[in-house]
Structure 1
Amino acid sequence: MAKGGKILVAEDDAEARELLMLSLADGDYDLLQAADGIEALHLLRTEHPDLLITDIVMPRMDGYELVRKLRQDESMSSTPVIFCSASYHEREVREMARSLGVRSTLSKPYDLEIVRETVNAALATKPPAATGGPPALIEDGGAQERLSALVTFSRRVFGQTDPAVILESTCDAARDILLAQVAQLVIVSDDGSRQVTTSSGLSGEEMERLLSSRMYRDMVQSLESGGSALYPMSPDESVANDGAPQRGDFVSMLGVPIASVTKSYGYLCVLNRIGLPGFTEEDLAVARAIAAQVAVAYENALQHQALQDEIDRRAEMESEIRRLNQDLEKRVAERTAELEIANRELEAFSYSVAHDLRAPLRLIHAHVQMLREHKGPPGAREPTIHMEQIQRGAKEMSALIDGLLALSRVSHVEMRREPCSLDNLVKHAVDRVSQEAQGREIEWRLHPLPAASCDPELMQQVFANLIGNAVKYSRPRAKPVIEIGSGVVSESDTGTTAAPGERYIYVRDNGVGFDMRYARKLFGVFQRLHRQDEFEGTGIGLATVSRIVERHGGTIWAEASPGRGAEFRFTLRGMD
């Protein structure tokens, strides 16, 4: 055991308790600590310390009640005690201490040197005899110190913007400043509901008994009517439910309304003056000062909260407006891009009407005219030739019109995006093209492709057109090779607007290729880089592919050289 003795520190404030423990740490003491009176009483009975240092205002059991029980127990009644309290309660605490046989007191904030001197003196002397009964009321209860405490409280609550924290701080401060066992603050809402904040040194059972008492109900009724209440309750008055056995545990109550100039918010009540028979008129004045301050602080906090809510609401609205504007700008940009594409297609269509569509018509017209002027014998070969040319022109016209209709459809059909396996789409397109190219030995190099979110029907057309073109333009090769795979855009890829690092799909062949000087014409309607008698086609397929890719948020471009084949690349938004 330590030579200096065993000391028990009972203090609910963790920082104050730690400071006391620290001030005694360099002494040869065996130190114990407790956070409330109940815990301290248990340690007193089991550890039998040589000295008790206790705060007055603590939860579950206050210091005054703790020492009263200690003095009633013969096994520990002679234990020296030091009372701790705020400086503005110093005079009251000294009188209370004398009534319980407590010789020494300490005032907060603690002076470490005074703490050590007081502890040494208390351990060296035996406690004086208790005078018995409650201490006498003190005329000068430290008014200046209380005023200082009120100023400190005012600064604390007026610097707070959280209503809940203000209510909790008020309860703690009211109980501490007024030396009450219980402080309760009740906010009554417009709908009649109650928000109750309590700071108590009582057990749950004692609180339940108190709140169900007739006297408490009478006080609440008075407070809710806007008045104040001061009850120096006599010990034989019942605090239990009407008709229940009487007990004299609670002897005083004080209550004041909480109201600003414009509104009543509720009430503050404190119960059981520690160490004295009742609350005083001075206590009532202090309680009114606390209530007035908390009313203004609480109202300010509510207004601040309402203002903050309004700021948050407006910020959310502004964010939503910005989002809508961005969405609108995006939609306008998309519609503008679609309109530009439509205009280009319209220009191409106008050109095709003037040239491409008229060419078959001129052919048909010329051969019909020749038929009309034909004067040869019946069964001659010449009319048959004219009829075949007319039929060929009609087929070309039909193919052109079908191509235009297909382009129009992919430009306006509603897209159905869904997760797709591009590998499956490629396989289907290869199988179909292979059937049409029977007799040709094509080397297919198919690499795994990433998954994508796309319209499967439209994407099938992309692969069908690109793979079909690769087969067609590699026809002059004895060993055609067609390769399909994926890659990543690099910094050196200057022929595209795709960003570096973006993944693309490619279809590559070793066919006739083309001159890159004319690459920009590839994706226009009826644009062809090879003569019709060399390679059949309408010049609409790549325009259709380009439109589908653009609708998927991607871009398409080509790389080629004459006689060395071509490679078409495209990106898609939503491709893994």
Structure 2
Amino acid sequence: MLCILVVDDHPDGRELLVTLLGYRGYRMLAASDGREGLKLVQQERPDLVIADVLMPVMDGFEFVKQVRAHPEIAQTRVIFYTASYHEQAAMDLAKKCGVLAVLTKPAEPEILLDTVESVLQDVGEQPVCAEPQELEQQHLRLMTDKLKTMADSLGLANQRYAALIEINLQLASERDPARLLDALCHQSRQLIGARIAFLYLPAESADTSPALVASGMAVEPQASDFAESKLSDSFHQVLRDGLPRRLANPSGQAAAIGLPASYPSMHALLLAPIVSPTQIYGWICLGNRLAANEFNDEDEQLLSILAAQAGRMYEHSRLFAKLQEQDERFRQLAENINDVFWLVSVETGQSIYISPAYEAITMCFGWCRLRRARVFTSARLTKRFGSNPGQRPESNPGMRC
């Protein structure tokens, strides 16, 4: 039984290759880096090694160089398995260190299996390795390109996530549900970098209307454009499952996905649900990625986060609007009845609300007490000092009541 060793620092990719090739009857070995892979090559002497190029501890280049340096394993067949943006650099390096083929991640299963079988059937001599100095220069170029790609990606990711935080703060301060949806549509289009954006929230009952917002479209959308009988099933799946979807539309025609023919051409779409922990309210759709042919995983993740945050804020804004409406009705009721009532906090004992009738009755009660006090005082003074005003305390400060 032929033996194949897979050397890759990504567990998912490593497991995929092991499973796929295992079904073909090969005996499979796996290693997480070049150092571990080199030990397995020395111990097990596999017929083929499929190695990633860029790995921690010992990368694919150093791994192959070490294999070629040991005469007993120097003829081991090796295939490089690398990301697409390193394909050309990896192919150049592969030729110089005796690697027989280069596969691009993610490779189609048929292509991967055909390549493995072709390499295993080849009984020719291994190509001669280039001089160590030339290999080092090629390896340094590959690593430099990798670091630059990572730095560019990291810088862009940092900018986008900083913008995401800023957008969330802006949306959190918006209390009006309609303005919140409008801001979500415009801000998500700018954050992801899409030519057009539109969102739709179906009517929740016969007494309510659907919500619809668009950005970047010359055509004014109508709620009837998004009828369930017209749209493709991808839109309905977002509402049913609450999960984002990427949709390819090769013809670019809006009618192909159930939208009116007057809509702009859309070759790639990204859909995300506007969802809270308790309810799926609708979806937001971005069309035509700027500077790219399609939306990627990061775009999908960013839009999903933004739409989910907006879904919670939309729910809170609707509750806030309902509370305002109930508060206004309560005040109108309280200010137009003659009964006295008040609200007291159970925790602090402080008064929260006192009806206007209480103030009116309190004023009336206070006036009555004041009048009774004056009458009582006048009667006591008359009884003690007589009816002569000159004998009262007001005319003689030295006397006390």
TM-score, length basis structure 1: 0.30
Instruction: Kindly name which structure, 1 or 2, has the bigger radius of gyration based on alpha carbons.
Output: 1
TM-score, length basis structure 2: 0.41
